[in-house]
């Protein structure tokens, strides 16, 4: 449904603030994203949120991501 259409795609990044503070970027990796939803969150806070969401909402698959 997107073929032939232009201007409808965004690249989501997965870098977090810990990586940004350490300068852990490459030219065509996480720094090349249009939107970075977790860009202002440190790894520790992100893991805590994933565990909270797993327990609070029953998304047990999120615990596998943290492990």
User: What does the pLDDT read at residue 32?
Assistant: 79
Distance CA 7, CA 25 (A): 26
Query: Could you state, in chain order, the average pLDDT of each consecutive group of 10 residues for the chain (67 residues)?
Result: 71 83 74 83 93 95 92
pLDDT value at residue 26: 72
Give the model's pLDDT for residue 29: 72
Does the pTM surpass 0.85? The reply is no
């Amino acid at each position: 449904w997107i073929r032939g259409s232009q201007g409808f795609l965004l690249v989501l990044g997965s870098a977090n603030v810990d990586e940004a503070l350490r300068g852990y970027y490459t030219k065509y990796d996480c720094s090349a994203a249009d939107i970075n939803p977790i860009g202002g969150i440190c790894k520790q806070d992100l893991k805590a949120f994933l565990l909270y969401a797993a327990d609070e909402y029953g998304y047990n698959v999120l615990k596998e991501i943290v492990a």
